[in-house]
Copies of this chain bind each other. A is one copy, B any other.
Amino acid sequence: MNIREATAKDFEKIWPIFHEIVSLGETYAYSRSTTKNEALKIWLTAPKKTFVFEEDNQILGTYYLKTNQEGAGQHVCNCGYMVSSSARGKGLATAMCKHSQSIALEMGYKAMQFNFVASSNTGAIKLWEKLGFLTVGCLPKAFNHPTQGYIDTLVMYKWLQT
């Protein structure tokens, strides 16, 4: 297991994971038809940093880290995590989330916020709670789920500094 910063070269291996997850429309607030070029910008160019979880020369997971709000909010970061369907249930999301919290502190952030967690994504919600995140908001019917329709969306938050 190795989590390392992504390079532009990694995108060929990140794209299948991104596409697999985003095209389902069940978890992320990106268009289900996001193109490869748009994904490159969203996942690798726009964030402050992007990481990959690598094992046996395979990329099995990835996450980005960015500033959630500028100016008065610039001490709070935001992350997004993706795990290949072939590597679920092995603790990759836990490993990446813990890693991201360390990196965030190193980078000078004081807190981490998830802006848009679909309430249907109970596995993720349980995991973030286990890792110390609190549900600090609930946006009514803010997520248009492909099979469940308009469902609530959670805002989750963790103060990282001790």
Contact = CB atoms under 8 A, between A and B. Distances in A.
A71 B159 contact: no
* 9 tightest A-B CB contacts, nearest first: A137-B137, A29-B69, A29-B73, A31-B71, A30-B71, A137-B155, A72-B144, A29-B71, A72-B143
Contacts of A73: 29, 116, 142-144, 153
A16 to B, nearest CB: 19
A85 B119 CA distance: 41
B141 A159 contact: yes
Interface of A: 22, 25, 28-32, 34, 69-76, 110-111, 113, 115-116, 118, 136-145, 150, 153, 155, 157, 159
A31 B159 contact: no
Contacts of A141: 110-111, 159
Interface SS majority for chain A:
strand
A70 B30 contact: yes
Contacts of A31: 70-71, 74
A143 B70 CA distance: 10
Contacts of A153: 73
Contacts of A25: 71-72
B137 A139 contact: yes
Given A28-B71, A29-B70, A137 B136 contact: yes
A141 B113 CA distance: 12
A94 to B, nearest CB: 23
Contacts of A140: 111, 136, 157, 159
A75 B19 CA distance: 22
